[in-house]
Every structure is written in C-alpha cells, then in structure tokens.
C-alpha cells in the first residue's frame, strides 16, 4: 500500500561567496554566488487526505501557515499544475532561524516540491520542479538541487560544482532580523569598489583546496548589513580570533558562518561566542 505520510528535511544554505554584478532595469539584481547547503534543517511532514485543500501547520507562532507562507504557495502551485492531487496537510518543524540569510523559506518551498512529488507519485523531474520553483523565489531552484553550486542570473541559473572541501563549520545568528529587500534596496551595485573572485573560488573548490576556498570567501552585501549592524563584524572577529580560516556573513545576513580546519578550534570558538552573548543562535555544522 502507498504511504500516506512522508517526512522530508529542508536544508539551510550559506553563500561561500556572493557578488552582485548589476541592477537590472526591472529592479532585480544580477548575482554570482557560490551556494552551499549546511547540516541545519527544517522537517516537513506531508499527509495526504481525501478532502481537497491545503492545510499548513507550523510550530512557530510568528510564522503562520496561511497563504503568505512559502510552503502554502508551493503546495498551491503544485495542486494547480496537477489537479489529480487530493488534499494535503503539511506540518513544519522550524529549526532554521528566520530572516537570517539562510534561505529558510525557500528551502521549505523546495521540500514541498520533493514531498508532494513523492507522496502523490507525480513523476516531476528536477528540471520541472525547478521551473515551478522559480515562480516562488529565485533561490528555490537551488534549494531543490542543494549541494555546492554556482548560481547566476537572478539566482536561478545553476551550475553544479564538485562538493566543497570538508571542514568544520560554526554558524551564529545575532538577535536581529534582516529583510533581504532592505539590503538590496540599499546596495549601490554600481559603486562597489571590490568584488569577490568567484571564478577563483570555483577553481579552489574544483581542486579540493580548503585554504584557497576559505581565503576567497566574500560577500558584497556586507557593505550594507554590517554597516547597519556592527555585531556581525564582532562575531566574525570572534571566530577568526579562535582560529577560523575565515568567517563571512551569509546572504543578506545577519547570520555569520566560520570555516575551521580543526574541530578543537571550532569548539573554542563556540564557547567563546556563547560567553560573549553576541549571538542568539549558535550551531555546529558541516556541509550537507
Ligand atoms: P534568504 O536567505 O532567501 O533571503 P532569509 O533566511 O533571509 O532568506 P526567510 O527565513 O526565508 O529569510 O524568511 C523571510 C520571511 O519570509 C520571513 O520573515 C517570513 O515572514 C516569510 N516566510 C514565508 N514562509 C516562510 C517559511 N516557510 N519559513 C520562513 N519564512 C517564511
């Protein structure tokens, strides 16, 4: 008998490098980013039911399961595209901090495509899911694929890369929420005097060169977010003082991730950050 309930993990991402090439006439920004999934994830449980409709339940009061939730939007898009689906209940266990620069909403939407595809046996290819996913958000196609990837265009043009070299990762989010919209609106893409070397990082990853990769980590959105929230720089410094090869803000922030070649140094950095109170959430992780 076909299973009526399935669960899926939705992994968070960090940007090993993030460049904004230009602002397009239509207001979107053209980006070049090296994306990487990390071992921090939400869990979505899907239950098929006879009565039609979509019910989304979350375990966070501040995140309603209504039409504004990206999970709901993705489920609606799948149902409109495949009217043969019955009704569905989707329950979310939210572990990824919100408004953090870790694509928490996009990865939940991505999990809906995978989950409904499996539950209802829709036979969607990854390309088909990505084609639908980009209508929800530019990062959704990447979240559908996961792993290490170069992301271009508005984020939807993806090139799979070799897995990033293994290392020890520390993730820390200060007690502030950052709106991605605010950061892009305040970015002067035409006045940036520095750009990360995306092609150099791509080569370092292809060569399995952890030190080369860490040395090239960079994010132009720090020019906006770090200026407004100096705590981000303080977290980066704390990680580097404890031996991180490098530390960087992810996406539009404010989450910082540090890359270590030594588990002990990462533990020291974890303890130091706990002691300073600079971060509200701290996670030990690896690439996923
Ligand atoms: P990105 O890295 O893609 O910019 P983010 O990590 O900065 O994303 P999200 O956590 O994805 O930000 O969420 C931004 C806003 O989207 C939230 O404040 C919330 O109101 C809304 N949202 C809708 N659905 C979800 C969801 N399933 N999970 C998280 N946020 C959601």
Whether residue 255 contacts residue 249, with contact meaning beta carbons closer than 8 Å, is answered with: yes
Q: Residue 103 Cα, ligand 1 centroid: separation in angstroms?
A: 6
Q: Residue 128 pLDDT more than 90?
A: yes
- pLDDT score of 97: 96
Q: Is 108 in the pocket of ligand 1 (CB under 6 A)?
A: yes
Q: What is the per-residue pLDDT for 3?
A: 72
Choosing from 99, 110, 251 the residue with most ligand 1 atoms within 8 A of its CB, the one to mutate for a pocket test is: 99
- Checking if the pLDDT of 66 tops 60, the result is yes
- Predicted confidence at residue 2, as pLDDT, reads 63
Q: Is the CB of 254 under 6 A from ligand 1?
A: no
Active site residues: 13, 139
49: pLDDT confidence band, cut at 50, 70 and 90?
very high
Report the DSSP pairing between strands 5-23 and 29-49.
antiparallel
Quickly state the pLDDT bin for 179 (edges 50, 70, 90).
Answer: very high
Q: Are 7 and 44 in contact (CB under 8 A)?
A: yes
* Cα-based distances in Å from 261 to 7, 43, 168, 179, 280: 33, 29, 6, 32, 24
CATH number of 5-160: 3.30.230.10
CATH 3.30.230.10 boundaries in the chain: 5-160
Pocket flag, ligand 1, residue 103 (CB < 6 Å): yes
| Statement: residue 169 has pLDDT above 80 | yes
Amino acid 84: pLDDT: 77
165-169, 190-194, 276-280: segment of lowest average pLDDT: 190-194
Which is it for the CA torsion 231, 233, 235, 238, positive or negative?
A: negative
Ligand 1 neighbourhood includes 157 CB (under 6 angstroms): no
What does the pLDDT look like over 188-220, one tens digit per residue?
Answer: 998 999 999 999 999 999 999 999 999 999 999
139 ligand 1 Cβ < 6 A: yes
Q: Compute the distance from residue 105 Cα to the ligand 1 centre, in Å.
A: 4
Task: Give the per-residue pLDDT at 85.
Answer: 79
Q: What pLDDT does 112 receive? A: 98
CATH 3.30.70.890 domain extents, the chain: 168-285
Mean of the per-residue pLDDT values of the chain = 96
Q: 58 CB under 6 A from ligand 1? A: no
- The average pLDDT across 217-238 equals 97
Q: What percent of the chain has pLDDT over 90?
A: 93
pLDDT tens track for 129-159: 999 999 999 999 999 999 999 999 999 999 9
**95, 98, 225, 283: which to mutate for ligand 1, most atoms within 8 A of CB?**
98
Q: What is the mean pLDDT of residues 159-184?
A: 96
Tally the C-alpha atoms within 13 A of residue 23's C-alpha that lie toward its C-beta: 10
The mean per-residue pLDDT over the stretch 64-81 comes to 97
CATH topology of domain 168-285: Alpha-Beta Plaits (3.30.70)
The alpha carbon dihedral of 83, 85, 87, 89 has a sign of negative
**Is the pLDDT confidence value at 1 over 60?**
no
Mean pLDDT along residues 53-62: 97
């Amino acid at each position: 008998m076909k299973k009526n309930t399935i669960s899926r993990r939705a992994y968070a991402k960090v940007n090993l490098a993030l460049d904004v090439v230009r602002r397009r006439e239509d207001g979107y920004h053209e980006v070049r980013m090296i994306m990487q999934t990390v071992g921090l994830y939400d869990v979505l449980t899907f239950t098929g039911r006879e009565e039609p409709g979509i019910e989304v339940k979350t375990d966070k009061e501040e995140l309603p399961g209504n039409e504004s939730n990206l999970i709901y939007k993705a489920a609606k898009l799948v149902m409109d595209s495949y009217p043969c689906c019955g009704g569905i209940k989707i329950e979310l266990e939210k572990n990824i901090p919100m408004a953090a620069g870790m694509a928490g909403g996009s990865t939940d939407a991505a999990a809906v495509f995978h989950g409904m595809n499996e539950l209802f046996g829709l036979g969607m290819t990854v390309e088909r899911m990505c084609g639908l996913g980009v209508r929800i958000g530019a990062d959704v196609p990447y979240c559908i694929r996961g792993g290490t990837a170069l992301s271009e265009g508005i984020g939807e043009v993806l090139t799979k890369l070799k897995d990033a070299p293994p290392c020890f990762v520390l993730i820390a989010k200060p007690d502030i929420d950052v709106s991605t919209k605010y950061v892009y609106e305040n970015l002067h893409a035409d006045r940036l005097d520095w750009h990360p070397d995306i092609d150099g990082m791509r080569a370092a990853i292809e060569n399995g060169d952890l030190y080369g990769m860490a040395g090239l980590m960079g994010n132009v959105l720090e020019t906006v977010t770090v200026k407004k929230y100096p705590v981000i720089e303080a977290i980066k410094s704390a990680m580097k003082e404890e031996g991180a090869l490098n530390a960087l803000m992810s996406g539009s922030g404010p989450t910082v991730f540090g890359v270590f070649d030594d588990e002990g140094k990462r533990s020291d950095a974890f303890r130091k950050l706990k002691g300073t109170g600079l971060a509200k959430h701290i996670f030990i992780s690896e690439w996923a």
